[in-house]
Structure formats: C-alpha cells, structure tokens
C-alpha cells in the first residue's frame, strides 16, 4: 500500500494518491491532470477511482478531465447531484482497491454532501481518514459556504457537522491518521494548523472543535463566531465542480499564446482584456503597462485573483517572467479563470522597445516613511492587512483598509490625496497600489518591506496584542466597521 500527500502551498490544498497492487485512487485532484498521469505511468498503476470529498469552493477540481483521460470512476458521497456521470456512494458502503478498502462515511456539515473516506489497510485495520473539509488539523470546515436549500441555515449545517464529528469520526481509533484537504492559509476554515496531517488521537486532545464535553450548542456558537465573508469566487467554483467546465487542455492552448506588443494591445482594446502582471513586486513598480493589475505569481496568487477579479469570464492577458506563462495560465484555471487570451512575448522590455507607454509606482523604505511622517508629510497611511493583523498592532495614525474588501471600500478614498500604503511584507500593498492606480488614484506610494520593516522604525505604534488573545467581539466590530 502506498499513500502519498500531494500538497500545493499556494492553495494550501492536499490531494492524495493511494495505490495497492497496481490499482490507484486519487482524492480531490487539482485541475491540471498531467502530474497525476505521470505519477500513474511512473508507478505502473491503473486509476480505478477519483474520490471527491465534496463540491470544492476554493478551487476547480480535476475530476472531469482525469476521468476522461483514464476511464476512472468519479465517486461522491450521498446527496451529491451533478450534471455529469459519477457514482454516488452510500453511507458505510465499501469500495475495494487492490488489497485495501475504502469505507464511505457521510459527514455533512461543511456541505450537505461532505464525505470522509476511511482507508482500511490490507489486514482490514482502520488506517487513515481523508476528511476533506470536515476535519482539519486544528480546526473544522466552515458551515457557511454550502449552497443551502430551502430553510437550511448555517447553524443547521454547524449542528450536522457536530453530529458527523461525534458520531462518525471521533469513535475511530486514536492512531488513525487524519489527512485533510487544506492547511493554514485556506479560507475554508478559521484557524488551521500549518501541519498537513496528524493522528486523530492528537486532534481529540488539541483541536478546539473536538473538545471533550463540548455541547452541540457550544460547538455551533464557536464554529459560526467571527466568520469573515467568503471570497466571491467560492460559490462560482463550487458550481463549476458540480456542473462541469472546459478541458484544461483547451484553456492552456488558448491562454499560453505569445503576443507581440501590437497584438497584445489589440486584444486589450478589442476584447476588453485585463492586463495581469505577475512579476515580482520589486520589479513591477519600476515599469508596467498603464492600468495593469499586479498579482505576483510567487505569492498567494490564485486566492487573490479569486478575491479581487469578480468575473470568472473576464478576458485576461499576461505580463509574466520568461518561461512561466503556462504556469500562470494553469494557476488561473485552478480557480476558474479560463479566459486567458495570451501573454506579452519578451515581456515589458518588448513593450518599451515598441515605444509603448509605461507607468510606475513610487516605492519607499520604512525609514523614508518615518522621515516623511515626522516632517508632517505622511498624513494618510493605509494598512491593507486583515483586521486581525491590524488589531494585533498597527501604526497609531494608520487606517485599516484591508485588500480583501478593496472593491467595496474604495469609495472612501479621495483621488486628490496622497496615500502611503503598507501590508505585512510588501506583496499585498503593491496589489493595492496597482488597483488604486488603475482606478485613477495617481498619488499612491508603496512602503516596501511592509510592517516587518516598519517595526524597526520610531513611528508611533499601538501596543502589541497576540492575535489569539483578541476578543471575538472586538474582531467582529472591526470587520463590521471595515465592510
């Protein structure tokens, strides 16, 4: 028996490859199929099943393309209604793969169809659970993301999640390994651990949601408290996973096309394409195509694209580092942005050589910010970190302007004012600066190095509070004030 976790850091997502005697299962695959096909060929295995723990909201799964290319059967748990062919397994049904067995445990709560797959080894011993978004390491799945039918509420789903955990998962042996679908950084939970697997026994001791003696009412209150609004693309990705989508091969063929500056400009003008610049922030601000948006490929790229670009069908053209166009197109497709129409051949240098206009964003050091502040020339400072980061410690005179909500709160700013923008390290602040610049805010100044650099200056700051010690009512009030 072979069990391999395939973890993708930028999505904080875990897919799984399990094999026994030449037969394999892949659980919660990402959209691009080639790595899985290569793995199957390398191992000399046949893919029998593709298990989906639920309708994912934070990424588009690769189940359809993978099934078409391998002939494997797509398996969902009870209640999963799709517009494509699949096998809907029954609760407690067992599926054989080589010499091992998977038992289907219907565990509704995160979503109605959420299912945990219990792996029994060659001797029939309960070995591991693939818990999807039902049970994370240190947390459980949010009960507010499912498409609810009729009178079903978030509190109803939270109650079912409590029942699923207590009745289906917690009775399992303590040495059972927990393999979740996500780790820290995912918006599918509130406080996930950076660890990507653990034993169930350790989770019973350390996970707040599995606390001994916890009542159903206490559980419902704790898992629903302080939930931030989910990113706008979540519901759209869930529908794609339920209804179907274009082949990743077609998306790549359409998107990874080199365009010279004239062709690039024509696509922007004729298709209304968004120029997405994915280079590093330290390079981007020195020269970019006017009105382009920066979201760097080496940061939390896909989640920020999903949070900030409202239309999944938005035509997009790319400015990216040499040799990375296909990677960028793939990572856009992971979260449902399938309408990439090409990339700028030879990058920004080709654009400049063609005599095209270039814009810049001023970026200063934290020391320069301090100098301007004490000289009375940095009145407007925007802290674009999340409310919890801001509450933990911030510049006394800075306003919290979270990037997550920029499209809804931009109206509060004055285009005639000068704004100094910072985040934690410089990635989010440059995204913010590029969006504001594209919307006509000409006086935007980025603080490179962000809070990490600002901490070393004499700029006046609030007292530090550990984020875990922030009262929930304070967090809720801060979020409400922002949104």
117: in domain: yes
**Is 240 inside a domain boundary?**
no
Residue 389 φ/ψ, nearest 5 degrees: -65, -45
Q: Is residue 253 part of a domain?
A: yes
For residues 193 and 70, state if they share a domain.
Answer: yes
End-to-end distance of the chain based on CA atoms, in angstroms?
50
Given a cut of 70, the residues of the chain with pLDDT beneath it are: 147-150, 483
Contact criterion met (CB below 8 Å) for 337 and 312: yes
Which residues lie across from 13 on neighbouring strands? Answer: 8, 182
Q: In this predicted structure, what is the pLDDT of residue 471?
A: 80
Last residue of a domain, one of 299, 320, 353: 353
Q: How confident is the model over 82-108, as pLDDT tens digits?
A: 999 999 999 999 999 999 999 999 999
Of 235, 266, 283, which residue constitutes the final position of a domain?
Answer: 235
Whether residue 13 is found in the same domain as residue 105: yes
Q: What local confidence, expressed as pLDDT, does residue 79 receive? A: 95
Looking at the structure, tell me whether residues 21 and 120 fall in a common domain. Answer: yes
Q: What is the CA radius of gyration of the chain?
A: 24
415: which residues sit within 8 A by CB, 6+ positions away? 440, 441, 442, 443
Q: Which of 208, 235, 262 is the last residue of a domain?
A: 235
Domain assignment present for 420: yes
Pair (88, 48) in one structural domain: yes
Smallest Cα–Cα separation from 429: which of 314, 328, 299, 290?
299
| pLDDT reported for residue 234 | 94
- Supply the pLDDT for residue 350: 98
Pair 92, 10 in one domain = yes
Domain of 250, in residue numbers? 246-353
pLDDT for res 146: 80
> Would you state the pLDDT for residue 210?
97
Lookup: tokens for 432:
């913010």
- Could you give the number of structural domains in the chain? 3
What pLDDT score was predicted for residue 283?
97
Q: Specify whether 217 is located in the same domain as 250.
A: no
Q: What is the pLDDT, as a whole number, of residue 480?
A: 76
Query: What is residue 148's predicted lDDT score, i.e. its pLDDT?
Result: 64
Residue 51 in any domain: the answer is yes
User: In this structure, is the dihedral angle defined by the CA atoms of residues 144, 145, 151 and 152, taken in order, positive or negative?
Assistant: negative
Residue 77 pLDDT: 98
d(CA 236, CA 198): 31
Are residues 271 and 194 both part of a single domain?
no
DSSP for residue 165: I
Q: Are residues 195 and 128 in the same domain?
A: yes
> In what order do the strands lie in the sheet containing 126-132?
94-97, 100-106, 115-120, 126-132, 177-180, 198-199
CATH number, position 423:
3.40.250.10
């Amino acid at each position: 028996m072979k069990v391999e976790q395939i973890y993708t850091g930028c999505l904080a997502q875990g897919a799984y490859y399990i094999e026994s005697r030449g037969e394999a299962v892949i659980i919660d695959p990402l959209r691009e199929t080639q790595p899985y096909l290569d793995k199957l060929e390398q191992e000399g295995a046949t893919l029998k099943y593709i298990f989906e723990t639920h309708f994912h909201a934070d990424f588009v799964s690769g189940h359809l393309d993978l099934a078409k290319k391998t002939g494997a059967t797509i398996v969902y748990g009870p209640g999963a209604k799709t517009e494509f062919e699949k096998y809907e397994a029954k609760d407690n049904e067992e599926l054989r793969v080589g010499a091992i067995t998977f038992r289907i445990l219907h565990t509704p709560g995160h979503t109605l169809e959420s299912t945990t797959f219990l792996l029994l080894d060659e001797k029939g011993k309960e070995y591991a659970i693939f818990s999807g978004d039902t049970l994370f390491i240190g947390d459980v799945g949010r009960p507010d993301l499912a498409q609810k039918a009729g009178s079903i509420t978030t509190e109803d789903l939270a109650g079912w999640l409590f029942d699923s955990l207590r009745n289906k998962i917690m009775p399992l042996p303590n040495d059972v390994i927990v393999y979740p679908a996500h780790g820290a950084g995912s918006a599918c939970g509130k406080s996930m651990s950076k660890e990507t697997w653990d034993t169930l026994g350790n989770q019973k001791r350390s996970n707040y949601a599995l606390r001994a003696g916890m009542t159903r009412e206490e559980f419902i209150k704790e898992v629903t408290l302080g939930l931030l609004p989910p990113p706008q693309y979540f519901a759209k990705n869930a529908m794609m996973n339920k209804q179907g989508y274009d082949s990743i091969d077609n998306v790549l063929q359409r998107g990874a096309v080199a365009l010279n500056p004239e062709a690039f400009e024509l696509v922007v003008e004729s298709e209304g394409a968004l120029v997405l610049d994915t280079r590093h922030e330290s390079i981007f601000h020195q020269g970019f195509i006017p009105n382009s948006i920066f979201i760097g490929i080496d940061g939390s790229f896909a989640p920020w694209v999903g949070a900030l670009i409202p239309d999944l069908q938005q035509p997009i053209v790319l400015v990216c580092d040499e040799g990375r166009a296909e990677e960028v197109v793939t990572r856009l497709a992971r979260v449902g942005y399938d309408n990439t129409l090409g990339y700028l051949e030879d990058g920004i240098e080709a654009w400049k050589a063609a005599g095209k206009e270039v814009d810049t964003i001023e970026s200063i050091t934290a020391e320069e910010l301090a100098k301007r502040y004490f000289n009375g020339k940095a009145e407007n400072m925007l802290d674009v970190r999340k409310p919890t980061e801001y509450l933990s410690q911030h510049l006394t005179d800075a306003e919290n302007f979270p990037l997550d909500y920029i499209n809804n709160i931009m109206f509060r700013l004055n285009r005639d004012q000068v704004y100094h923008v910072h985040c934690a390290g410089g990635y989010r602040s440059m995204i913010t600066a590029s969006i504001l610049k594209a919307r006509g805010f000409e006086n935007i100044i980025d603080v490179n190095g962000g809070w990490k650099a600002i901490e070393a200056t004499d700029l006046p700051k609030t007292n530090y509070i550990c984020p875990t010690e922030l009262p929930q009512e304070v967090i809720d009030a801060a979020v409400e004030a922002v949104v």
